[in-house]
Structure 1
Amino acid sequence: MRAEPSRILVSACLAGLKVRYNGLDSREERIERWVLEGRAVTVCPEVLGGCPTPREPAEIVGGTGEDVLAGRARVVDTTGADVTDKFVRGAYETLRIARETGASAAVLKQSSPSCGSARIYDGTYTGRKIPGVGVTAALLRREGIAVLSEEELDELDELMPDSGGSRPDDR
């Protein structure tokens, strides 16, 4: 009897859902296939937290996702509206879904103030990126869930050996 493969969480925009701040997606064919195969569960922390689509772009001001969770930084959109509570609520809702589905890993959209796993925008709305993680990525890591970006799909293939052996040249 073959063991059931692990489920992962994926940013909904990477699976082709039009939930990004600008109403578009960031579709990755391999991720979309994992969702169709039932191997991945889509989440959009910003939508789960109550943000509309489309919405004003937002950045973390004064730190990283860890700082937001600790109350030392805020998430602010381009109109100056503080959307921190929505981002934190979305992060905790994503964690709830991860626990409910037994997910041990997540592939989240790089550079997002929610999902960035290695870099985020610096809070100046100038397009400059800094090392750091988004709010959801910080919470998931803190809770022991591996967080990768769409730039690290080959590493995820290694974590999910039953994924059909897809590699970038299969796309």
Structure 2
Amino acid sequence: MILISSCLAGHPVRYDGKGKGHEVFTRLVDDKKALYACPELLGGLSVPRAPAEIIGGDGEDCLEGRARVVTINGIDVTDAFIEGAKRTLDFCLKYRIKTVVLKSGSPSCGSGKIYDGTFTSTSINGDGVTTALLKRHHITVMDEFTFIERINDTSMKRNML
């Protein structure tokens, strides 16, 4: 069993009230091979909501108190992002999930690349808050593009699809 970001499963939970569904992910959920969750909703944020980015670092820095997640309107939502990360971790532990596919670029879900906090669509190396916390607990996290590339590998396809 894997966990997929709710938006990738087609649910309209992104900040703009839209989903980013993809057939691969909706099929995994429909076939009961994947569960889905949205860390930002688990943290208490609403849909729609103002876009947010990490200022001063990445998700690991947020967990250590060295960076903040702030909306484009200047509202600090760091606590909600950390709460969502903790609840997502609890979900993974409860269901013994070891692989998670999260939405690229997100301040909670980004894996390897996130936006730089300037709201100019500029990417930097780093992980989102949820990704950082899951990795601390040895849970494999990847974005949707990496997952789709990997399912083309016959060994993973055999196990996942």
Q: Same fold (TM over 0.5)?
A: yes
Question: What is the deviation of 1:127?
Answer: 1.1
Paired residues for 1:30-49 under 5 Å: 30-49=24-43
Kindly provide the CA deviation profile for residues 58-86 of structure 1, in whole angstroms up to 9, marking residues without a partner as x: 00000000000011000000111000000
* TM superposition score normalised by structure 1: 0.89
2:69 match: 75
Residue 161, structure 1, aligned to residue 158, structure 2: yes
Kindly provide the CA deviation profile for residues 121-161 of structure 1, in whole angstroms up to 9, marking residues without a partner as x: 00011111111100000000110000011001232564463
RMSD of Structure 2 on Structure 1 (CA): 1.2
Number of aligned residue pairs: 158
| Partners of 1:90 and 1:125 in 2: CA distance | 22
SS state of the match for residue 92, structure 2? helix
Question: What is the deviation of 1:10?
Answer: 0.5
Runs of 4+ in structure 1 deviating by more than 6 angstroms, as ranges, are: none
Larger Rg: 1
Match of 2:142 among 135, 142, 148: 148
CA 1:89–1:103: 2 relative to 1, 3 Å? same
Structure 1: runs of 5+ lacking an equivalent: 1-6, 165-171
Match of 1:50 among 40, 44, 47: 44
Tell me the percent identity: 49
Kindly provide the CA deviation profile for residues 88-126 of structure 1, in whole angstroms up to 9, marking residues without a partner as x: 000000000001111000000000000000100000111
| Partners of 1:57 and 1:119 in 2: CA distance | 17
Amino acid of the structure 2 residue aligned with 1:69? L
| Partners of 2:126 and 2:62 in 1: CA distance | 12
| Partners of 2:138 and 2:157 in 1: CA distance | 17
Residue 104, structure 1, aligned to residue 98, structure 2: yes
2:60 match: 66
Paired residues for 1:79-90 under 5 Å: 79-90=73-84
CA 1:98–1:22: 2 relative to 1, 3 Å? same
